[in-house]
Amino acid sequence: MVDKAIEIIASSGLKYRVTPFETVMEGNYDEIMIVVKKAQQACYEAGAESLMTYIKIQSSLEDVTIDDKMEKYD
């Protein structure tokens, strides 16, 4: 099921990064929520009967990117 969700994220055009315990997306709130909804639907269509979706949101007056947060580790 996770692969189905990641396919939706990859096709969204948003910047993203898959990590061992979560997938991080970069974009505005509305864009990301649309992708989340589509990813959930793809999992249901692939046979899931229920899902647990955990969402963490970083909001800031200044742009914060995945690269900003990860550059020290890359």
For residue 27, the domain's CATH number is 3.30.70.930
Structure tokens at 57: 């949101």
Per-residue pLDDT band for 50 (boundaries 50, 70, 90) equals: very high
Segments forming the whole domain that contains residue 26: 2-70
What are the tens digits of pLDDT across the range 11-26? 999 999 999 999 999 9
Cα separation of 13 and 58, whole Å?
Answer: 20
Q: Comparing 34-38, 47-51, 63-67, which segment has the lowest mean pLDDT?
A: 63-67
Structure tokens at 28: 């505005």
Domain count, the chain: 1
Does residue 42 carry a pLDDT above 90?
yes
Q: Residue 40: what pLDDT?
A: 97
- What are the angstrom distances between the C-alpha of 20 and each of 17, 23, 39? 10, 8, 18
Helix axes 2-11, 29-45, angle to 10 degrees: 140
Q: Residue 48: what pLDDT?
A: 96
Q: Residue 44: what pLDDT?
A: 97
